C-alpha cells in the first residue's frame, strides 16, 4: 500500500486528471452508449492510452482508469460474456499503468520536479450502470448489502491489476460509499481508496445528505485516503471544502465539472466553463489537497492546475 500522506506532503497539492470521455470524443470516438468511455476498452485501447498520456504530459499526478461505467452486466448488454468482461475491466487498469510507466521512462518526465504519477482504478456508482441519471440523485431502490454485492466482483478484478488506489467517484449517497468500503473490507483488498461524492449544492451530496455528515462518517476508515467531491458545479466547491474540513482530518479531493450544465435526460451540455487556474487557487486556499477536473474539463485545464501546483 502506498504511503499516501508522504506522497502528499512532498507536494503543494496533488493534481488529478480531467475528463476522459470528452477527450475520446475529440479523438473521434462516438461514446453515446450506456458504456460511455468504457466502450473504448472493447476495440479502441490506443485512444485510452493516448488520453492518459495527454493528462500525464499536462502534469497529472493521478490518472484514473476508464472503468467508471465498466461492469459485467453492462458489457453483457453488448453481447460480451462474463470472462471477457472481467478481462476488459482489468485491462482498464493495465492500460493506465502502461501509460504511466512509459511516461516516467520518457524525456517528458523529470523526477526532480514531480513525483511518479499514481494510477487510480475508477469505481463508478451503481447509478452509472443504470445509466438513468440516478448517480446525480442517489434514489436507488436497493440497500447496502445489495450495493456491496454489486461492487464486489468489479473491485476484486480491478485490484488484481494492481492499481495504486481506488477512485470511488460520483457517489450520490452515503450508503453506497459505506457499501463500497464494506466490500473492500470483506474481500480483504490491500488497496486504499478515496471517496468522492456528487453534490447538488454548496452543502449537500446528490441525495440531500449533508456533506459534513458524510465526511464525519468516513473519518474513521483507515483505508480512506481522501474525501471530497467530483462531477459537481464549480460554484459550489469552495463552500463544500469548508464543510468537509470541519468534520475530517483526511485530505480533501475536488475535481468538479467544467461549469457547463449537464442534462441527464437529454445527455447534453449547456452554458459556459470557468477558469480552472483561478478556481484552483481558491480551492487550495479553502483546504483542498487534491485538485483536478471532471466532465468537460481538458488537458489544458489540468495543465493550468499543475502550473499553480508547481509554482
- Residues comprising the binding site? 231, 294-295
Are the C-beta atoms of 159 and 185 separated by less than 8 Å? no
Instruction: With beta carbons less than 8 A apart as the criterion, state whether 273 and 307 touch.
Output: no
What is the Cα 294 distance to its own chain's centre?
8
- Shortest CA distance to 59 belongs to which of 95, 108, 4? 108
Collapsed DSSP state (helix, strand, coil) of residue 192: coil
- Report how far residue 172's alpha carbon sits from residue 73's, in angstroms, rounded to the nearest whole number: 21
b/e string for 73-109 if b means 16 or more Cβ within 10 A?
ebbeeeebeeeebbebbbbbbbbbbbbbeebbeeeeb
Known binding-site positions for Zn(2+): 231, 294-295
Contact 66, 48 (CB under 8 A): yes
Amino acid at each position: 500500500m502506498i504511503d499516501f500522506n508522504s506522497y502528499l506532503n512532498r507536494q503543494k497539492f496533488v493534481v488529478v486528471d480531467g475528463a476522459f470521455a470528452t477527450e475520446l470524443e475529440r479523438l473521434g470516438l462516438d461514446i453515446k452508449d450506456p458504456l460511455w468511455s468504457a466502450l473504448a476498452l472493447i476495440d479502441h485501447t490506443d485512444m485510452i492510452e493516448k488520453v492518459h498520456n495527454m493528462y500525464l504530459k499536462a502534469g497529472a499526478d493521478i490518472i484514473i482508469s476508464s472503468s467508471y461505467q465498466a461492469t459485467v452486466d453492462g458489457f453483457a448488454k453488448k453481447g460480451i460474456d462474463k470472462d471477457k468482461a472481467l478481462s476488459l475491466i482489468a485491462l482498464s487498469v493495465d492500460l493506465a499503468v502502461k501509460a504511466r510507466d512509459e511516461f516516467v521512462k520518457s524525456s517528458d518526465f523529470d523526477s526532480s520536479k514531480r513525483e511518479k504519477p499514481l494510477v487510480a482504478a475508477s469505481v463508478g456508482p451503481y447509478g452509472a450502470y443504470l445509466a438513468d441519471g440516478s448517480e446525480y440523485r442517489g434514489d436507488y431502490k436497493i440497500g447496502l448489502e445489495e450495493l456491496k454485492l454489486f461492487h464486489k466482483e468489479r473491485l476484486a478484478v480491478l485490484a488484481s491489476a494492481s492499481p495504486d488506489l481506488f477512485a470511488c467517484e460520483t457517489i450520490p449517497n452515503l450508503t453506497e460509499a459505506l457499501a463500497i468500503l464494506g466490500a473492500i473490507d470483506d474481500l480483504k483488498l490491500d488497496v486504499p481508496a478515496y471517496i468522492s461524492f456528487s453534490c447538488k449544492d454548496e452543502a449537500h451530496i446528490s441525495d440531500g445528505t449533508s456533506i459534513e455528515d458524510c465526511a464525519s462518517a468516513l473519518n474513521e476508515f483507515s483505508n480512506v485516503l481522501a474525501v471530497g467531491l467530483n462531477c459537481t458545479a464549480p460554484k459550489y466547491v469552495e463552500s463544500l471544502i469548508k464543510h468537509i474540513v470541519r468534520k475530517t482530518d483526511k485530505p480533501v479531493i475536488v475535481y468538479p465539472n467544467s461549469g457547463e450544465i449537464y442534462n441527464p435526460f437529454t445527455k447534453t451540455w449547456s452554458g459556459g466553463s470557468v477558469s480552472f487556474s483561478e478556481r484552483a487557487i481558491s480551492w487550495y486556499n479553502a483546504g483542498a489537497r487534491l485538485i483536478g477536473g471532471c466532465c468537460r474539463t481538458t488537458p489544458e485545464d489540468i495543465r493550468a492546475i499543475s502550473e499553480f501546483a508547481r509554482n
